[in-house]
Structure 1
């Protein structure tokens, strides 16, 4: 069996996965190679188990969102909290929680607010599907404590407040008894074990939650069978020590993706991990080369393996008369004014082109400034509305004209969109005809998504994901060649179809049984 340890840790507290209400946008693109690998193994019917080291009370919901609900999991915090793998899932309503007499509920556009005799006593946050995430209990307008619900239908933990700040967090069993108590002050994050559950732990207190997780993880991974089981660890500073948690003879794979794991000559833990594992997988040729520079003697075990997002399907852009261009913008590396001007000129010349200027995880202020900048640029060019004289024959029989055969098309030809998750990007790409990313280093997920959806891409930098005049176009001179590149894929159907076929072949090379066969072949060598 394959055991996968991901790196889906919290940004503020490593061992706590933040519970996000539906009205908060989660400022991250969550796709990584673990998601891809699990989907491949899931579709191939290979035995696999996800090992979750961190506290995640909404784990089932998260797995469902990533199409991984069919994959079995081992939750370390379920073991810590005494939750059975067969824990029954119970639907829970607001009224099922404990409330004083005469409590009434007001349903606002964002939260459910509870009142008792005219005073607010609680606010309830919900998930996207209307499931209860947390209950903030209030007294005299001050937060007293916050209850976090497990998606199986019980209160999983409680954070108690002192003088307006979190003081400690109790982790509960399904019966409501606290098992661990973690201090949340600036001075200490010590963890205390409830005397009633002391037999389940080796110590009465721990300096931090990481020590508890390490103890329980080692106990669970100790059951792996040499020669039969394989542990796949995502490279992350928190995960590297887990390489030592399994016995001799158990195969180990270390997987690198993006910039998640710093590569440093001084990192002894990294060097030890590279030597201990049987196979090292990287997502890019650059990362592979950097690892080879760190450990040249380990060249035989370091291999590059591309990740694709299997939720993406070949799009339906060929069914639309209009050609949508997905122009990715990097907030820290915005294209020059001349490049944006060239894009507007291309739009002005081609009435059936439209552009989505896509930016990821940006603030409202950044998006507003970008929108204003694009409007100013278009206005200075005299195409503020991007209105273009269009012949009625170009528009098809569904467009009605009043008197003339020519009119000015006033619909929005471009817009700025801020994306916070992969699902929204996937939806946008369904009818996208071409991707443009002229950043110095093209966005990794955009490139993965483009290949996964069979969409050709225009970049200024060559990467192993896009081959010139195959599934994309690598610009030599951005100002001169951008229009040539756009015309190459959007004026003639043949290059676009060839790019689609090329992408399909790339996907097939790194998915399904082929990917698993590559892994197993490399580990035998």
Structure 2
């Protein structure tokens, strides 16, 4: 069996990141474990199970969003709370025990309950329309918040005093308090009259055990005890793949050395230079998987000694979809700007403006994964100021609203040539919106030190050229793109691909060839090699 321990946490807390349906998603849910689970779920190459350590009362909805609804999993909090239900249930907030005289007011986003013209409660809903929490109020101040499980019961309840959280109770299906976590100290108190948890044995039997203590220093100690009991009778063939994360560090310490273990590093989620004490742990791992060659090089450098049991397996697979950029009247240039140094950003915008004077069919798609609602307006205003200072017409970025007094001005002002907007902002948070955006792009220009991994995979999937600052496994200089550090050469590089259909088609062919190295089949082959190495 292959066990995955994911890093699906909310702000480094033992809880899921589920949110109300109307709240803008500020981050993507996709990571290395999501892709790993998807690959093994769809291929059936090896039996696997997710070991979920976080409190996730809406986990079924998360699995559905990732396309792996029936993926097998074990939930630590289900074991703690002794939950027996497996399937999501349909339930209505109307069926809750409301006081006599309650009145419900339906807003476009939430339902608010009033009692004697005073706000009594607020019901928030998830993306599937299920109630996920009910917040209770006393004199307009939050006093309690009930968190609902999608299987139809209250999973936990938070108690407040004058709006300040006092503690969180985790409950059984019957509503009995199992344990209490105090907000100020983080200490955990086990209910002495309900002090057992479930252990699922390898022969599918369920064993009930008693907690070793009645008071724990932290919730982490409780989770580690229950996890340890669950995996104690694993067979010698079992392999554990742990997503490196601050909360998973202690779990990894308990597993590595006793079990066959893989550590998975993904982007900036866990940087060794910020956790130097974890170096001995990494050295003891059976194998290390990273998301890219760049992460592998970084890890080897930070470990300060040679490590050989390491390989990169992309968390994204290439799927050939040539997009629709050839069918569009305009040539869209995708320009990622997140994390771009200010001076380089300024130089790039000026260079792009120069190129737009050479190619009247080109437009610039400023790309960001930052979900801040007013960011597009801020970016466009910033670009307009940069170009105006450089002597360009700011109207190629934004059209200012005309003053009512303009009709009294000279006829010359009225006859000014209209200048089309050439700069647009593509604000994409999740992977689906990114892929949709890429399908319309003719070329990508990424001048950051580390090009975006997912963007590069999408570029080879859509077979479009890339211009980046350094060569990567997804871009070979002179074939499906260029390596370029001189900002002033951007117009020349863009013209090479956009000014010649032959050059663009050549890059398309090379992109296709490179993409064959990152198909699901090839990624699974790399996984087979890693697991075979561990088993030896």
Q: TM-score, normalised by structure 1?
A: 0.86
Contact 2:338 2:370 in 1 (8 A): no
- State the partner residue of 1:189: 186
Tell me the secondary structure at the aligned position of residue 123 of structure 1. Answer: strand
Distance in 2 (CA, whole Å) between partners of 1:272 and 1:377 is 48
Counterparts of residues 221-260 of structure 1 (less than 5 Å): 221-226=231-236, 228-246=237-255, 250-260=259-269
Residues 386 and 501 (structure 1), Cα distance of their counterparts in 2 relative to 1, 3 Å cut: same
One of 485, 492, 497 as aligned partner of 1:484 = 492
Question: Which has the higher mean CA deviation after the structures are superposed, 302-311 or 291-300?
Answer: 291-300
Distance in 1 (CA, whole Å) between partners of 2:265 and 2:27 is 18
One of 229, 238, 243 as aligned partner of 1:219 = 229
**1:216: Cα distance to partner?**
0.8
Contact 1:36 1:310 in 2 (8 A): no
- State the partner residue of 2:26: 27
Distance in 2 (CA, whole Å) between partners of 1:332 and 1:386 is 22
Distance in 2 (CA, whole Å) between partners of 1:169 and 1:413 is 52
One of 420, 423, 429 as aligned partner of 1:420 = 429
- State the partner residue of 1:514: 525
Contact 1:271 1:295 in 2 (8 A): no
- State the partner residue of 2:100: 101
Contact 2:317 2:523 in 1 (8 A): no
Distance in 1 (CA, whole Å) between partners of 2:135 and 2:296 is 47
Residues 511 and 175 (structure 1), Cα distance of their counterparts in 2 relative to 1, 3 Å cut: farther
Tell me the secondary structure at the aligned position of residue 168 of structure 1. Answer: strand
**1:516: Cα distance to partner?**
2.8
Counterparts of residues 299-318 of structure 1 (less than 5 Å): 299-308=307-316, 313-318=321-326
Contact 1:452 1:503 in 2 (8 A): no
One of 485, 495, 502 as aligned partner of 2:506 = 495
Tell me the secondary structure at the aligned position of residue 223 of structure 2. Answer: helix
**1:311: Cα distance to partner?**
8.4
**1:141: Cα distance to partner?**
0.6
Please report the RMSD computed on the Cα atoms of aligned residues, expressed in angstroms: 2.8
- State the partner residue of 2:404: none
Residues 148 and 412 (structure 1), Cα distance of their counterparts in 2 relative to 1, 3 Å cut: farther
Contact 2:395 2:421 in 1 (8 A): yes
Contact 1:104 1:116 in 2 (8 A): yes
Residues 153 and 503 (structure 1), Cα distance of their counterparts in 2 relative to 1, 3 Å cut: farther
- State the partner residue of 1:60: 60
**1:35: Cα distance to partner?**
1.7
Contact 1:312 1:426 in 2 (8 A): no
Contact 1:29 1:420 in 2 (8 A): yes
Distance in 2 (CA, whole Å) between partners of 1:312 and 1:61 is 29
**1:10: Cα distance to partner?**
1.7
Question: Which has the higher mean CA deviation after the structures are superposed, 236-245 or 190-199?
Answer: 236-245
- State the partner residue of 1:458: 467
Distance in 2 (CA, whole Å) between partners of 1:346 and 1:294 is 40
Distance in 1 (CA, whole Å) between partners of 2:395 and 2:303 is 56
Q: Deviations over 1:192-231 (max 9, x none)?
A: 11122213322111111000110111111223210x2111
**1:179: Cα distance to partner?**
0.8
**1:25: Cα distance to partner?**
2.3
**1:236: Cα distance to partner?**
2.0
Residues 304 and 344 (structure 1), Cα distance of their counterparts in 2 relative to 1, 3 Å cut: same
**1:157: Cα distance to partner?**
0.8
- State the partner residue of 2:213: 203
Tell me the secondary structure at the aligned position of residue 303 of structure 1. Answer: strand
Contact 2:465 2:511 in 1 (8 A): yes
**1:51: Cα distance to partner?**
1.2
Counterparts of residues 367-382 of structure 1 (less than 5 Å): 367-379=376-388, 381-382=391-392
Q: Deviations over 1:16-52 (max 9, x none)?
A: 2233212322322332221222222122113111111
Distance in 1 (CA, whole Å) between partners of 2:137 and 2:194 is 30
Distance in 2 (CA, whole Å) between partners of 1:53 and 1:155 is 19
Tell me the secondary structure at the aligned position of residue 7 of structure 2. Answer: coil
Contact 1:265 1:294 in 2 (8 A): no
Tell me the secondary structure at the aligned position of residue 225 of structure 1. Answer: coil
Residues 310 and 165 (structure 1), Cα distance of their counterparts in 2 relative to 1, 3 Å cut: farther
**1:356: Cα distance to partner?**
1.8
Residues 247 and 516 (structure 1), Cα distance of their counterparts in 2 relative to 1, 3 Å cut: closer
1:4 aligns with 2:11: no
Structure 2 gap segments, 5+ residues each: 198-210, 398-416
Contact 2:460 2:512 in 1 (8 A): no
